[in-house]
Chains A and B, each alone.
Chain A
Amino acid sequence: MSTVNSTNEVPGDVTNAVSVNTKFANVATASGAINEENVRSEGVDRRTLESYTGGRREPLVFVDYDDRDNSAATVHPNQTGEGFVTISNVLLDLTASPLTVTAGDLVRIHFTAFLTGIDDGQYATWGAAGSDSGGPNRSFNPADAIGIVFFPMWRIANPGSFVPLTNEADLNTTLVSPADIVINDSTDKTDSIAFCSMEGYLDSGNCVSAREVHGTWNYIHTGANVTIYEVNLNFRGPMVYEYNGASRVLHSPIWNAGRYDITCMDIPQSPTNRFGITVGNAQLSIMVMRGDS
């Protein structure tokens, strides 16, 4: 009982030691159970809340971030979208103190990534060489859905390897072009990706995109606990958003073939059929919160 119930002493009544002792014991008991019954409204404020020194802190269970610091931009040659690259120097390593996520927790993963550019200087999403080159047949060519896909992955087993986030598409699949990564609305979602355009301007033989994208993933966990050991950031591409007759997909085409051939869109500009992708700075963060949902 957190409130104190007692009756007054009445003049004329015999002084009863047990009664008085009980009253004080009642106070002691109530003071041992400090709760909403004895604390006034607005009685708990910042001063009474424990300072955050690490560990769980309602509603913030955990937060951590990393960025590439002053690492130089990294060049990744021969990219086709068939494989993926883990961006170096940006990693959330929780191995020393793994993070346990319980049912009801909200996991928020944020990342930004800066696409410096690609080595296809004449790159244009509707095709190279503009409207007049090679005749009028290409002048009405539309822009295609080409971009670099940035995505995080995590390691939730120890030992174990990095896997896509819960119910996200198989973004780490190794493909042999032409091939697809299927997108659906249940177990192959693309909520966590950031789709970055390579459009830019010609400079010294490169196409300078100079573009930063921001991807997020919010997830209210259900079911058994999950332990997070590491989170990293990756990219693959260029990839193309399409419909393959059955599903939405992220498609890895054979570059310089089909509509990307030299006589059509010429992506990348011949003779090469692969891309050098330059990635600049990147940041990655994770925040786990606990609250009502």
Chain B
Amino acid sequence: MQIRTEHLLKRFGDVTAVNDLTVTLADGKLVALLGPSGCGKTTILSMLSGILPVTGGKVFFNDRDVTDLAPDKRNVGLVFQNYALYPHMTVMQNICFPMEIKRVPKAERIKRANELAEMVHITPLLKRKPAELSGGQQQRVAIARALAKQPDILLLDEPLSNLDAKLRVEMREEIRRIQRQAKITTVFVTHDQEEASSIADQVVLLKTGVLQQQDTARNLYDQPCNLFVADFLGNPPINKMAGVIHDGRFVFEGSDSAIALEQDKMPPEGTKTVLAIRAESVIAVPDRPQLSAAVVERYTLGKDELVRLQVGTQQMRAYVAGDTPAQPGGQLAIALKKTGVFLFDAASGERYL
């Protein structure tokens, strides 16, 4: 089922948690609501589920206006951050509970619970109580319970935040698998860009309740629309080099170094800008060097080496091949790739294309 919000607004007192959000989330996709804490992503999820009333705007499921419907009338499955499994019920009873409320006959309940248990791989645990399960197992049960009433939409609130690092990678792949298998429109909330990028078909990136960009993770990474998006995605964080435009070139602040940029539209002379450079977009020892940088430090990260470079008063990180002769204290000639280098306005953060 397609989810659409129109000018969605949520205020808590004087605080605007979600501001004029208009998005369309495609049917059958896995969508991530991504943003730093306090950006309103969980609030949006709660408004989609109906737990929180909206202050303004509308929510549509397909073409049905569900804005004023109670949660149980929207047919959404919810997975809570701490799972909220009923501690006094067995796994089986937990999965059956939503169906019991819907008055599904007992035989069918049990049949369906068994199917779901098989799908999320918890069949041997059906007789256990939640306290006897690990975090990952509880997560699986919570998903099975959310799917039990055959919802049109599955909503997950920070589904992986309560798990340890290793389990997190495993469970996010599981969420992807289960979502594909159940073919259900799924929205999950996360503050972890890697989590969102790795499994989501679409990422909705938010900042202080305002939509920044909605696209595939790939496009968000390769074509960020503003500095916040460029900065939020990627590890190590993108290098943000301050500078001004002079003679159609970017002059690094605190340095004489300048480079020519291939821009369709160059900002006017003297504009304060930020040149954002991904660490992997730096070419060490190129045929045609654009820039000379001092090597500050060198870190070995398995396949690659990460070097910290100094250009004037500013520092940046760059990935270089293991055999690059760059030692701390030395100089390194570099050039920039065409991809992964973006020019933003320093004041507004808007990108110059």
Q: Do A and B bind each other?
A: no
Give residues in B with beta carbon < 8 Å to A. none
